[in-house]
Amino acid sequence: MSSAKKNKFSKAWLQDHLNDPYVKLAQREGYRARAAYKLKEIDEAEGLLRPGQIVVDLGSTPGSWSQYARNRLMRGGVVQGTILALDLLPMEPVPDVHFLQGDFREEAVVGQLEALLEGRKVDVVLSDMAPNLTGIPSADAARIEHLSELALDFAQRWLQPQGAMVIKTFHGSYYSQIVKAFKLVFQQVKAVKPQASRDKSAETFLLARTLKRAPE
């Protein structure tokens, strides 16, 4: 893409962003990103989050999903439950949210996670993770599939049997493979496209519930 085209694209994106009703709503309601409303729509339709749960937010930065989870777990002005947020990037603190910076496959992060969970299993795993896309279809497909595999592995290790998971993915040649992988692990898997997700975006979300029993 030439610099002139790139500049024109950037200006058009910025204009759309500034006029986006969800961006304005996020600013008014104190959310760090419009992504909070994608989770809100899924939660309100599916009854996902409630007080007393243990919730893990993978790829949490900048923190809007953690903010929304905190609001949903609030009862009588106090958070009932536990919210853990993990990301490779730093995140500004969110009240009542335990943030772990690092790779959740690494021993040090796993140790911190185990200490916070104290032997308990997770009720809901949230993942709004997305790779840096290159524009090269084969490379982007591999990156997207890899992130979904990481999230799925995390759920298999930490989620309680009746737990649920929401993960962002993208339509493409790899999409059916991701859905297939989730159906091997979960009893219920459905695709959800919230209204807050831009029409132009190829993103969609998978909602998965209830782990299948591992073979004896």
Residues 40 and 19 both lie in one domain: no
Question: What CATH number does residue 145 fall under?
Answer: 3.40.50.150
Residues 75 and 21 both lie in one domain: no
Residues 37 and 26 both lie in one domain: no
Asked if 73 contacts 83 with a C-beta cutoff of 8 angstroms, the reply is yes
> For the purposes of burial, counting CB atoms within 10 Å of the CB of 117, is it exposed (0-12), middle (13-18) or buried (19 or more)?
middle
Per residue in 158-182, pLDDT (tens digit) is: 999 999 999 999 888 889 999 999 9
Is residue 193 domain-resident?
yes
- What is the predicted pLDDT for the residue at 15? 54
What pairing do the DSSP bridges indicate for beta strands 122-127 and 159-170?
Answer: parallel
> Which range marks the domain in which residue 13 is found?
1-30
132 three-state secondary structure: coil
Binding site, by residue number, is 63, 65, 87, 103, 128
Per residue in 100-140, pLDDT (tens digit) is: 999 999 999 999 999 999 999 999 999 999 887 777 778 87
- Identify the active-site residue in 5, 8, 168, 200: 168
Is residue 216 domain-resident?
no
What pairing do the DSSP bridges indicate for beta strands 186-192 and 203-211?
Answer: antiparallel
Residues 52 and 26 both lie in one domain: no
Q: Can 5 be counted among the known catalytic residues? A: no
Binding site for S-adenosyl-L-methionine, by residue number, is 63, 65, 87, 103, 128
